[in-house]
Every structure is written in structure tokens, then in C-alpha cells.
Amino acid sequence: MDGILLLNKPKGMTSHDCVFKVRKLVKMKKVGHTGTLDPDVSGVLPICLGRATKIVEYITAANKTYEGEVTIGFSTTTEDSSGEKVEEKSVNKDITKDEVLKVFRSLTGEIIQTPPMYSAVKVNGKRLYEYARQGMVIERPSRKITIHKLELLSDIKKDNGTISFRFRVTCSKGTYVRTLAVQIGEQLGYPSHMSDLKRTSSGEYTLDQCITLDELESLVQKGNIEEHLLSIETALSHLRKILINDKVAEKVKNGAVLPLPQELSDIQVEEPIVTQCNGEILAIYQRHPDKPQLIKPIKVLVNNQELK
């Protein structure tokens, strides 16, 4: 089986747990997810099977949309509700909808984030959560991310010294929504954390397209799981294409360098191009860095090999 399974990840499982479960159910080794969701987060988790594992990075790069809740009044070690309380400051004044919307506007566009200590980012060959579990806080590199849209979804609720409200955010790859919740609180003058989060879309994939692990198990038992897999061609439909004939296809399967078609003369060096023959994507190419009149393969899918 080659394709993309859209899983509605449940709370309480890591993305790796989900991959392990899917691998066991479909009896395949080549299974991979397309962007980590924290254990407390539910929602859209595209999982690639077979040859589709070669295109994980192109799905991961897509924008994501989340719906969640910010709680203002205390922060936690993990920046979400699973962590221990770190700092507390009772919210003893009214925070208006206009104040929240003003903060949302200031955080829309390109902003800087520092990955939380409880994250999978590697520093000096070690993941940050490994340092955090040892009680260490280390310097980590900040990154630029883009908040495309940030919306308020609910009224502002008061509860025993805290306030909370729901939001929807559409953001770029690499965004930590937990950290965004902390940044919202900082701008309002209080410690805060993300108290709930669900991913509602990943690129073109939406929550209503997803199936649960229980539904997957039922499909496996019935033997019709392939009907619920999205094709590699569908997943890469947003990329520019070259349609080739059978003769050129044989060269592509062997990793041949090809001339750059005139209609793609404006393509950037690192922009991926797919080569397609008879409706099947055979490989992903990009412009040759030293010979701009040529394109070179970066992934050959038909032979299940990856070229450096």
C-alpha cells in the first residue's frame, strides 16, 4: 500500500504512538507521520504508507490550522495543561475583547518564537525535552514563523483568578501554538498557557476527512483500507509538473538529469518539480544549482530510492 492515511489523532498518544499502532494494524514497516503533535493535542495527523514516506517533507511544509484555548493567570513547565505550575498571577481586572483582538493583531504576520524546553528540537545533538527532564534550561535558537490568521472564537470567561478564551490560528510550519499562547499572555501582562488544542487542518487536509484508530482497525478487518488512502499524486498536486513519455520515464527511474523545460524557466533552484507519466508521479526534481539549464532528481519514487 502506497498513500496517505488521514488520522484523527486522539489525546493522550504521541505521534510516534500513532505510527506504531498504524504499523501494527496494516502490517507494514514503512509508515511515517508528517509533523509531530504533542500528546495533549488531537486532530489531523497525515500518516504516510509505503512509497509515500518519501514525500513526508512536502506535506509537513504546509500551513496548519488549529483551534484551542488560552488560559491566562498561570504558566506551566510545558506551556500546556500537562505541565507543573511555574508562575501565577491572579487576573484581578477585566480584560476586554478589544484588548485581546489588539494582541492578536500584533502577533499576526512574521514573528519570532523560541522553542519551548519540552519540545523535540535538537540542540547539540540532544532533544530539548531530554534536557528539560533533567531539570536543565539551556539556550536555544529562536526562529521566524508566520501567523497567517488569528481569530477569537469565544467570549472571555472568568474563573477563580484566571480567564480563558478560545481561538483559531492558521500558521506556518515550525509554529509552536503552546508558545503562542504564552506570548498572548505576556502581551496582556500575565503568565499563561495553552489549555486545549486541536489541529483542524494540515495543508489541504481537514478534520472531516480523517478517521479514528478504531475506524482504521475496522477497515483493516474488512480489507478495504486502500479505499481510504489518498494517493501520492493528490498529496503533491500543489507542485509544478512535467508530463513525460514512457521513454523519458525510463531515464527518470534511473535518476537521469533532464533539460529544464522552457515553461519552467522561472523556477527557483530549491523549488520541487514532479515528473509524471501516465498519471503516476515517478520522481521529484529541482533546478540544478550549477547548471541552470538542467534539472536533477532529489527523490525517485518508483524505485523507492532517495538521491542525495
Report, as residue numbers or ranges, the catalytic residues.
38
Nearest CA to 183 among 156, 138, 141, 150?
150
Provide φ and ψ at 163, rounded to 5°. -130, 155
Whether the CA torsion 128, 15, 42, 60 is positive or negative: it is positive
Distance CA 247, CA 19 (A): 38
Distance CA 37, CA 148 (A): 20
Nearest CA to 40 among 197, 202, 168?
197
Strand partners, 258: 295
DSSP readout, 98-127? Answer: HHHHHHHHHTSEEEEE---SSS--EETTEE
